[in-house]
Amino acid sequence: MSPLPEVCVCYLLRDGDRGPEILLGEKKTGLGLGKFVGPGGKLEPGESPQDAIIREVREEVGLEMVQASLFGIGELEYVFPHKAAWSQKSWVFLCRDWSGLPIESRELRPSWFSLADIPFDRMWDDAKFWLPAALSGEKVSANFVFNEDNDTVSSWSWSPSVR
């Protein structure tokens, strides 16, 4: 089996008026249409996950980051047995330091959410299993297998640390 395509995602955090907030974007096109996701996308040939996420965040929400501001929180593998082209490996980052204001792009409509009000019911099903732990400081390595509906998780395995 060939290696899975690689993608990256970043969860940007800030201190809001009522506590910590996370930036999520409602997907306007493609895979995950209508779901809330962190900005991110595919790695280009020869591109590191860090370089890719800096580019993707700029393209999708207009924010500028530098590698020193990124904190790697996970490596996730998604397996879609009923839609193999969707299977992928994702590098996951947190960032608390960037410049600019989030803007809407053709890909995402960004919104800030309180950490207490993350809309897990409007996100990919896997997020509820690992994102709370990652936001509380754990590095995660997990594998998720999706059901025939290509929307809900049928099984998952998890390790609370990344190599």
3-class secondary-structure state, position 91: strand
**pTM to 2 decimals?**
0.93
pLDDT at residue 61 greater than cutoff 80: yes
* pLDDT for res 163: 43
Regarding beta strands 140-146 and 19-27, do their DSSP bridges make them parallel or antiparallel, or are they unpaired? unpaired
Alpha carbons 71 and 97: distance in angstroms, whole number: 10
Residue boundaries of the structural domains of the chain: 6-159
- pLDDT tens by residue, 3-53: 899 999 999 999 998 899 999 999 999 999 999 999 999 999 999 999 999
**CATH architecture for the domain at 6-159:** Alpha-Beta Complex (3.90)
* pLDDT average, residue stretch 76-92: 97
Could you give the residue ranges of the DSSP H alpha helices within 11-155? 49-61, 127-135
CA distance 72 to 163: 11
d(CA 128, CA 120): 6
Mean pLDDT calculated for residue range 125-153: 95
3-state helix vs strand vs coil in the chain, percent to 5: 20, 40, 40
2 pLDDT exceeds 60? no
Distance of alpha carbon 69 from alpha carbon 80, whole angstroms? 32
Task: Please choose, from the candidates 133, 140, 142, the residue with its C-alpha nearest in 3D space to the C-alpha of residue 74.
Answer: 140
Q: Which of 124, 103, 130 is nearest to 31 (CA)?
A: 124
